[in-house]
Structure 1
């Protein structure tokens, strides 16, 4: 099979003396691994960093075989973030979460567009942590485990939705949830609408929310933990007082 598609690099590892196996999140063909000849060279390495956008010409004998790819860089990519170590930790975490959560060879264009939006947001330090939470919520939705934040699971009310059930992923109102507050997950207002501002603790609560469902529904089923890069990002956000 052969195709050409835009893609983001998720990871790359050396293979042989000069090549590399590169994991890509493509726009129309999902997560794909491919051998890139010359990928270990000094010239190619800058284009194989997580978050680099490329145009990939992919070839393989069969659909389930490791193929090969020729990559052409598109735009500045992660080089634009080299002066922002915190954004780079977020980028590494996003690539690790996407690479660990998305199955191979299944198209998830929504995940590609969410990753692209997050890449653009990394240029704005004040907002990207919240966009990261939205990115993870979008991954959950793409994989069939989307949160239902439209109305209270118990009463059907749409007002004062401040919690989420850790079992069902559905919103819970203040009135209905008060007796069970210690068992529920906090719902940060920014997940309910773009108009809501960010208060202290909102990003922390958002990451706890999406992390719970990523772990419960996806990573646990794959018998692996949440990526270490995600915990590293949270630690760095905590140190920078951005949670």
Structure 2
């Protein structure tokens, strides 16, 4: 099994004296793991940091074996070293992607969502909202996408402010009013990139995607949501 692909590094764990087992999110082949020889070298080490953008050449005897990869850098990736909160967001995205996506399952949509998030780190006021939409993209990639197109009760497309925790579908203000305490808040930025941000909208977005990620992905694996996600949300809360 031999192929080349574009990829982002998700994690790297030392293996042997100079190598590493590296997890990648590839464009065409999904989440994969591979042994990278010489990973501890001065030449390769900078390109094995979380979210590094690379082109890899992959080789394995069979699809079930741990393969080996050689890689070359593609650009410089996200410049977040001077922004601790953005660096935490980038690391959290890598952790969530590796934990949520099964290996060897092509996920072009998840790759594009990850790439869009990496590009967004250029704008400090924007990327936290892109991050929440990225998590919604992970849900969609796994077959649990939220349906925010119209009200689950009336079919109306306006004034959608809730999400049903049972169906993952949007609910309008009027239809949801009697059941408000049982519904999840739907922040406007989840409906449109131009939607209103600020206030509780970011926390509501984290609550929305976190609820379904926990239910559909992490609970079946008997795992909690990664702790780094809670640290990211704490860091994004406005200081009092």
Following the alignment from structure 1 to structure 2, what is the Cα–Cα distance between the partners of residues 27 and 60? 18
- The residue number in structure 2 matching 1:52 is 52
Please say which of residues 191-200 and 98-107 is displaced more in the overlay.
191-200
- In structure 1, distance between residues paired with 2:216 and 2:87: 27
| 1:22-68 residue CA offsets vs partner (Å, 9 max, x unmatched) | 00000000100000001123332211111100000000000010000
Instruction: Report the counterpart of residue 169 of structure 1 in structure 2.
Output: 168
In 2, the alpha carbon distance for the partners of 1:191 and 1:43 equals 41
The equivalent residue for 1:68 is 68
What SS does structure 1 have at the residue aligned with 2:237? helix
RMSD: 1.2
Corresponding residue of 1:102: 101
The unaligned stretches of length 5 or more in structure 2 are none
Matched length = 240
Report deviation, 1:240.
Answer: 5.6
Partner of 2:37: 37
Residue 13 of structure 2 corresponds to: 13
Correspondences of 1:23-34 after superposition (within 5 Å): 23-34=23-34
In 1: Cα distance, 2:72 partner to 2:224 partner: 33
- 2: distance between equivalents of 1:96 and 1:21? 15
Deviations 1:82-137 (A, max 9, x none): 11111100001100111000010010011001100000001110100000011111
CA drift of 1:169 comes to: 0.3
Q: Does 1:226 align with 2:225?
A: yes
Which residue matches 1:86? 85
**Residues 106 and 99 of structure 1: is their aligned pair in 2 closer, same or farther, counting only changes over 3 Å?**
same
TM-score relative to the length of structure 1: 0.96
Q: Which string of whole-angstrom CA distances, capped at 9 and with x for unpartnered residues, describes residues 153-187 of structure 1?
A: 11212221100011110011111111111111100
